[in-house]
Amino acid sequence: MIHIDNGIKLEYVSAGLFSTEQQWIHPRRTIDSYEIIYVTQGKVYIEEGGREYALSRGDALLLLPGALHTGSRPSDGTTEFFWVHFITDDIGFFGLDKITSCEGDYITLNLFRELLHIANTNAMPDYAKDLSCGSIIAHLASKGKNNEAAPTAFTKISEWVRMNIRRDMKVSDLADIFGYNKTYIS
C-alpha cells in the first residue's frame, strides 16, 4: 500500500490479461475492490447498476466495489482485455471517468504490460505493484480530462518517432508511413 497526497491510500490487489477466441460473457459478480477493464480486442458487454456498457478496443471502464456487475450479452468472438483490481479510500481524488477512451494510445497498453511484468516478477517489492497501478490510474485520469489533449495523429506519429529516433527519417517518410500530407505533418 502506498500513501499519496493527504494520506490517501492506494493498494494493488491483482491484475491479468483475459483472452479468448470463443464467444464469451462476463460472469455475474460483486467484488470488494475497484476494477479497471481495458479492452484491446473485440467487444465487452458489461452491466453495472442497471447501466449497460459496450466496450470496444481502447475503452477503459471503472467498476465499483460492492456493485453487482455482469455480462449483458456475449462477445462476438475474439475478446481480449487487461484488468486490474485495486483498493483506495478516496476514488474521487483520482478524477477517473467511468469510461475513458484510449484508442491508439500506446502508453496505456504499455502501462498495463508493465504492471503485469512487475506483478509476475518475484523480486519486485509490493510497493512497485502499487506504484505501477497508480501510474495506470493517473494516466487514465489524464486521458479523461478535456485539457487540449494532443490529436490522435500527433500522438501516433510522435510515439513512432520516439521509438525510432535512431533512424534516418524525413517528414516525407512519416507522411508515407501514416498516410498524411507532409505539410500536414510539419
CA distance readout (Å), 55 to 40, 59, 81, 115 = 10, 6, 10, 22
C-beta of residue 30 within 8 angstroms of C-beta of residue 69? yes
pTM value is 0.77
Residue with cell string 460483486:
30
User: Which residue has better confidence, 165 or 56?
Assistant: 56
- Look-up: residue for cell 469510461? 99
Question: What 3 state SS string does the chain have?
Answer: CEECHHHCEEEEEEEEEEEECCCCCCCCEECCCEEEEEEEECCEEEEECCEEEEECCCEEEEECCCCEEEECCCCCCCEEEEEEEEEECCHHHHCCCCEEECCCCHHHHHHHHHHHHHHCCCCCCHHHHHHHHHHHHHHHHHHHCCCCCCCHHHHHHHHHHHHCCCCCCCHHHHHHHHCCCHHHHC
133 within 8 A of 15, measured Cβ to Cβ: yes
Q: Measured over all CA atoms, what is the biggest interatomic distance in the chain, rounded to whole angstroms?
A: 54
Decide if pLDDT at 177 tops 80. no
Tens-place pLDDT, residues 128-137: 999 999 999 9
Give the mean pLDDT of the chain: 88
Band of residue 167 on the pLDDT scale cut at 50, 70, 90: confident
In this predicted structure, the answer to whether residue 72 has a pLDDT above a threshold of 60 is: yes
